[in-house]
């Protein structure tokens, strides 16, 4: 069954090519299509195109379908092109001609738009809440390990003293930036496109403010053409937000992989969070974090993929917009899985003590030694040359006591200030 079909069936090869994986992705969107259809039915009753009893019958049937979609028992068979045709078929099968009335004053275009907007709102909220949990965990770890020194690197060369507290809280604060991107994506998704129909509105006297309120959208996407043009754009904005979170997670995962290596040995995890080798019995491989790194790096290509998909499209609907559905749904599921694994594994992190006591980290303290000379009155450039000469001659003696006091340094992490920044976004 196809909502657009007027009698002649499409060739099977055409059908397979045009439908693609829509049925699988629509199983995730079907509950939102039912929710929007219920609001649409109530609106049709409000303007007199349905009786209230007819709208109630439709909503009861739609609630049952929504429940099946949520518990995973809904099936979209091959004879149906998508969730829309399946849902309308079930309504017609149960309610006769009344089921055929549900499509009055709308198009599949605004159906899939509103379902995607509702889906993105819920998923972005879920991701944001999980990011908050990761932030809280990183802040706890920063507080717990703030005095544990580790080398800081530039160009992968030993540079200056850092600390586990600085490392953990750096990623916590980076997540604050990512939440701003999630909020922007949510704001775009929180606009009701229902009622734009095929992208040019309807001759029916529909009440779009009513459905906006019914579906808990903050506002209406007013212009019908603008509503249609938001398809692809809201997915791309979401992809940018996902990629920003992914960028933070990928860098953090890379640090973990590096720090777990025997040459660093800064951190470790229990054996049940690592994997072994088929021939090397000593190996404890960071597969979890390598996969997080890979998945999140791949996620950073998502905005480019959606940009290229939509870059030369004029206004109005075009079938390739369908291709935006799969990548954004897959990206959301991948990011949620990566966040979940970090929340599962990080509480079990084991931190190595006294790392910077090793002789190979002597030069880590050269800048502090230089600064001490300057504080004693020596001009900076003279102190720099004097210390450089001592290092070249092998006469440098490190002073491992550090006294960093400014906010954001290893001696004053500013955890309260970081916490306030995130609290303002909750």
Where are the domains positioned within the chain? 12-103, 108-145+165-356, 358-423
Going from the C-alpha of 375 to that of each of 369, 372, 400, the distances in angstroms are 10, 5, 17
pLDDT value of residue 4: 41
Going from the C-alpha of 50 to that of each of 40, 45, 97, 101, 102, the distances in angstroms are 11, 4, 12, 8, 9
Output 6 or 366, whichever has higher pLDDT: 366
In this prediction, residue 423 has a pLDDT band, given cuts at 50, 70 and 90, of: very high
Collapsing DSSP to helix, strand or coil, 275 comes out as: strand
pLDDT value of residue 133: 98
Residues 212 and 220: beta-carbon distance below 8 Å? yes
Going from the C-alpha of 13 to that of each of 7, 79, 180, 409, the distances in angstroms are 18, 14, 44, 63
User: Does the pLDDT of residue 140 top 50, yes or no?
Assistant: yes
Going from the C-alpha of 353 to that of each of 149, 169, 182, 357, 358, the distances in angstroms are 8, 18, 37, 9, 11
Topology of the domain comprising 12-103: Fumarase C; Chain B, domain 1 (1.10.275)
Going from the C-alpha of 47 to that of each of 42, 211, 369, the distances in angstroms are 9, 12, 79
In this prediction, residue 20 has a pLDDT band, given cuts at 50, 70 and 90, of: low
Give which of 158, 22, 149, 11 is closest to 85, Cα–Cα: 22
User: Does the pLDDT of residue 288 top 60, yes or no?
Assistant: yes
* Mean pLDDT estimate for the chain: 92
User: Does the pLDDT of residue 277 top 80, yes or no?
Assistant: no
User: Does the pLDDT of residue 14 top 80, yes or no?
Assistant: no
User: Does the pLDDT of residue 162 top 90, yes or no?
Assistant: yes
CA dist 56 and 150 (Å) reads 65
Tell me the per-residue pLDDT of 318-377, one tens digit each, with 9 for 90 and over: 888 888 999 999 999 999 999 999 999 999 999 999 999 999 999 999 999 999 889 999
Tell me the per-residue pLDDT of 39-56, one tens digit each, with 9 for 90 and over: 999 999 999 999 999 999
Mean pLDDT, range 115-141, rounded to an integer? 98
What stretches of 145-266 show up as alpha helix (H) in DSSP? 164-189, 208-214, 224-260
Q: Which of 9-13, 190-194, 242-246, 407-411 has the lowest mean pLDDT?
A: 9-13
Give which of 34, 59, 35, 33 is closest to 46, Cα–Cα: 59
In this prediction, residue 19 has a pLDDT band, given cuts at 50, 70 and 90, of: low
User: Does the pLDDT of residue 196 top 60, yes or no?
Assistant: yes
pLDDT value of residue 220: 97
Tell me the per-residue pLDDT of 299-308, one tens digit each, with 9 for 90 and over: 999 999 999 9
Give which of 362, 411, 397, 366 is closest to 384, Cα–Cα: 366
Q: Which residues contact 218 (CB under 8 A, 6 or more apart)?
A: 187, 190, 191
Topology of the domain comprising 108-145+165-356: Fumarase C; Chain A, domain 2 (1.20.200)
Instruction: Record the tokens describing residue 102, joined without a space.
Output: 């549900």
Mean pLDDT, range 97-114, rounded to an integer? 94
pLDDT value of residue 46: 97
User: Does the pLDDT of residue 205 top 80, yes or no?
Assistant: yes
Q: What is the DSSP string of 26-56?
A: HHHHHHHHHHHHHHHHHHHHHTTSS-HHHHH
Mean pLDDT, range 103-116, rounded to an integer? 93
Residues 233 and 310: beta-carbon distance below 8 Å? yes
pLDDT value of residue 275: 74
Mean pLDDT, range 385-392, rounded to an integer? 92
Q: Which residues contact 216 (CB under 8 A, 6 or more apart)?
A: none
Triad 374, 375, 376: Cα angle to 5° = 90
Mean pLDDT, range 313-318, rounded to an integer? 88
pLDDT value of residue 15: 61
Over its C-alpha atoms, the chain yields an Rg (Å, rounded) of 28
pLDDT value of residue 318: 87
pTM above 0.85, yes or no: yes
Number of helical H runs and strand E runs in the chain: 15, 6
User: Does the pLDDT of residue 221 top 70, yes or no?
Assistant: yes
In this prediction, residue 37 has a pLDDT band, given cuts at 50, 70 and 90, of: very high
């Amino acid at each position: 069954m196809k909502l657009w079909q007027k009698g002649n069936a499409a060739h099977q090869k055409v059908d397979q090519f045009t439908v693609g994986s829509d049925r699988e992705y629509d199983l995730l969107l079907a509950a939102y299509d039912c929710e929007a259809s219920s609001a649409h039915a109530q609106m049709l009753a409000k303007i007199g195109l349905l009786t209230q009893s007819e709208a109630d019958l439709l909503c009861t049937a739609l609630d049952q379908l929504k429940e099946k979609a949520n518990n995973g028992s809904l099936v979209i068979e091959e004879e149906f092109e998508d969730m829309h045709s399946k849902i309308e078929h079930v309504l017609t099968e149960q309610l006769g001609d009344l089921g055929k009335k549900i499509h009055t004053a709308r198009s599949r275009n605004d159906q899939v738009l509103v379902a995607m907007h509702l889906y993105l709102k819920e998923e972005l909220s879920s991701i944001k809440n999980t990011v908050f949990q990761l932030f809280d965990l990183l802040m706890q770890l920063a507080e717990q390990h703030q005095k544990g020194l580790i080398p800081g690197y530039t160009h992968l060369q030993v540079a200056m003293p850092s600390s586990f507290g600085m490392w953990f809280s750096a990623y916590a604060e980076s997540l604050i930036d990512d939440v701003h991107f999630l909020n922007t994506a949510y704001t775009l998704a929180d606009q009701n496109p229902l009622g734009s129909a095929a992208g040019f509105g309807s001759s029916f006297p529909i009440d779009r403010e009513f459905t906006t309120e019914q579906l808990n959208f903050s506002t209406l996407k007013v212009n019908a053409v603008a509503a249609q043009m938001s398809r692809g754009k809201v997915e791309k904005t979401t992809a940018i937000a996902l990629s920003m979170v992914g960028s933070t997670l990928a860098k953090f995962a890379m640090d973990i992989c590096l720090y777990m290596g025997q040459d660093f040995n800064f951190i470790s995890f229990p054996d049940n969070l690592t994997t072994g080798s088929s021939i090397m019995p000593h190996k404890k491989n960071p597969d979890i974090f390598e996969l997080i790194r890979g998945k999140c790096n791949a996620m950073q290509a998502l905005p480019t993929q959606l940009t290229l998909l939509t870059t030369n499209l004029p206004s109005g609907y075009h079938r390739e917009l369908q291709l935006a559905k799969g990548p954004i749904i897959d990206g959301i599921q991948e990011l949620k899985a990566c966040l979940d694994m970090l929340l599962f594994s990080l509480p079990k992190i084991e931190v190595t003590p006294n790392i910077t006591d090793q002789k190979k980290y002597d030069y880590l303290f050269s800048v502090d030694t230089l600064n001490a000379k300057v504080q004693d009155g020596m001009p900076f450039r003279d102190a720099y040359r004097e210390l450089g000469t001592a290092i070249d001659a092998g006469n440098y003696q490190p002073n491992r006591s550090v006294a960093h006091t400014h906010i954001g340094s290893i001696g004053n992490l500013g955890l309260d200030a970081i916490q306030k920044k995130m609290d303002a976004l909750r």
